[in-house]
Structure 1
Amino acid sequence: MRELVFALEYEPGCNRVADTLADHPDARVRSLSLHATDEHLWRVDHATGTPDALDDIEAAFLDSDYYADCLATEDCGATQTTEVLDHTDDTLVLYSNWERTPTCASVPHIARDHLGDGVLFETRHSGHHYTWRIIHSGDGDVAAFFTSLEAAVGDCARTELLRTTDASAPTGHTGREGSALSPEQEAALRAAVEHGYYESPREIDVSDLAAHLDVPRSTLTYRLRRAEEQLAKRHVAGTQQAEQPQTTL
């Protein structure tokens, strides 16, 4: 089995949910369950945030042509029903059922076309960043998947490969393929170091660094956060291995 992790960076105005999350930087949406057939898609999403953020997220799902991840840039005529399973002051759980049309496209359906059946999906959505984690057999064509995905999103979003690795790799695995930073993450981290972002006090803030790199502020923040996450996990894994008692023969 293989793991494929990538992100979509939506342009403002292209995705109602992404725009809503961008208006509420502390809000998050993650999938609890996501299943797709050729004609249907079912998913359960868990959102967290302030009461105002959750109200706006609920409206984005219920009152707009969101169509549960449809990538079509115009109304594709799909049928979707969304039900609120739970809504408290800090939690929102939504169930969506989407019946696609021939003009519809979505990440799960493109993945099934190129990566085969039995594909598993996990999503996390914050701001305009929509991160997908896909577990697949490894027999499909990942390059063709990305080509079709980029054609489907067009100018509405940019795609960024975060990692691709053996899904059965053990925790703490430090092989190059699974733990290496993406080129975008490495460039962001290198620029942050070179321009004094990690100095105390900081010599540059994230907005100025983003302007220097000519990327949106949210994109740079996301790349730095993911790079820091990988480096921290790698450090802890290495420390744990060093602390393990040595076995003598």
Structure 2
Amino acid sequence: MREFAFTVSYDDGADHLMDVFIDHPGLYARTTSCHATTETMWRVDEVTGPEEALADYDEQLAGITRCSSLRGMGGCPIDWHHEVLEERPTRRRIYSRQSEGEGCRSVPYLAAKHLGDGVLCRAEQHGEEYRWRILAEDDAAMSAIHDDLDGNLRAGIELEFERLSHSPEWPDDRMTRTDLPYEQREAVELAVEHGYYETPRRASIQEIAATEGIATSTLQYRLTRAEAWLATTFAGTENGESVPPTAAVGDD
């Protein structure tokens, strides 16, 4: 198998939907399922973030009438449908269907067109970056996707190819950022950022809470819940078991 990995970066204002991720650094999305033909793409995305970020995301998602860079490339009118499968204050699971229009070509469409059946696609969105992973057979002609992508970038979008590897670094579905409620994920990220897990520690829970304007008890609770889920998930995956994300839900 070969993995094709690349990142598309967006300037502020280049795309309305990506602007939501740029404006809200705590917003994160990943594609958990994706299927495409040369006519239609179906996908399921999990999105987590603060409530105000998800409210902006919902508004932009509901207003899609033309091909967005989140769903494809080109800016042409599209036949677009989406449905919210799960809705929580800081989490969404969204199903969508997009029929490919003339000049509007999604990344999964390009994979289906150039690589044929049996191709797997994954994607992540965070900040200004939209990262793609494509897994295909060893003899797949990945250069065709490179040329098609590189020839269809519009102003404000930059393409960076990371690797073409025969040793795929395909991520494990059992443990991802979207499995934690946003507040707990944020607590872990703050702890790492401030050096809480370093030896020696650069900051205590009290110091981090004071710096970030969060009640110490709230930060401690969220971090404890997140650590409990991380520990049980790690133990479960080591034993070949799957630990449901609801084990961590306490303040979503």
Q: What's the TM-score bracket when you normalise by the shorter of the two chains?
A: 0.5 to 0.7
Q: Percent identity?
A: 31
Which one-letter code corresponds to 1:115 in the other structure?
L
> What displacement does 1:151 show?
1.2
Which one-letter code corresponds to 1:69 in the other structure?
R
Which residue of the partner structure matches residue 70 of structure 1? 72
Matches within 5 A, 1:9-88: 9-65=9-65, 67=67, 69-72=71-74, 74=75, 76-88=76-88
| Conserved? CA contact 1:43–1:95, under 8 Å | yes
- CA displacement, residues 197-221 of structure 1 (integer Å, 9 cap, x when unaligned): xxxxxxxxxxxxxxxxxxxxxxxxx
- CA distance 1:39–1:169, shift in 2 (3 Å): closer
Which one-letter code corresponds to 2:146 in the other structure?
F
- CA displacement, residues 22-58 of structure 1 (integer Å, 9 cap, x when unaligned): 1100110111111101100001110010011111111
- CA distance 1:156–1:108, shift in 2 (3 Å): farther
Matches within 5 A, 1:92-131: 92-131=92-131
- CA displacement, residues 168-192 of structure 1 (integer Å, 9 cap, x when unaligned): 6899xxxxxxxxxxxxxxxxxxxxx
When normalised by structure 1's length, the TM-score is 0.63
Matches within 5 A, 1:100-179: 100-167=100-167
Unmatched 5+ stretches in structure 2: 172-252
For 1:89 and 1:170, the matched residues in 2 are separated by: 30
3-state secondary structure, aligned to 1:147: helix
For 1:57 and 1:149, the matched residues in 2 are separated by: 25
For 1:22 and 1:154, the matched residues in 2 are separated by: 18
Matches within 5 A, 1:231-242: none
- CA displacement, residues 105-148 of structure 1 (integer Å, 9 cap, x when unaligned): 11111122222321101110001100001101132322221111
> What displacement does 1:66 show?
5.8
| Conserved? CA contact 1:150–1:158, under 8 Å | no
3-state secondary structure, aligned to 2:153: helix
- CA distance 1:14–1:26, shift in 2 (3 Å): same
Unmatched 5+ stretches in structure 1: 172-249
| Conserved? CA contact 2:66–2:78, under 8 Å | no
For 2:169 and 2:20, the matched residues in 1 are separated by: 36
- Range 63-72 or range 113-122, more displaced: 63-72
Which one-letter code corresponds to 1:79 in the other structure?
D
- CA displacement, residues 75-122 of structure 1 (integer Å, 9 cap, x when unaligned): x22100111111111111111111112221111111222223211011
For 2:11 and 2:138, the matched residues in 1 are separated by: 31
Calculate the aligned-residue CA RMSD, in Å: 2.2
3-state secondary structure, aligned to 1:80: strand
Post-superposition, which runs of at least 4 consecutive aligned residues in structure 1 deviate over 4 A? Answer: 167-171
Matches within 5 A, 1:207-226: none
For 2:170 and 2:56, the matched residues in 1 are separated by: 40
Q: What is the aligned length?
A: 170
For 2:170 and 2:135, the matched residues in 1 are separated by: 15
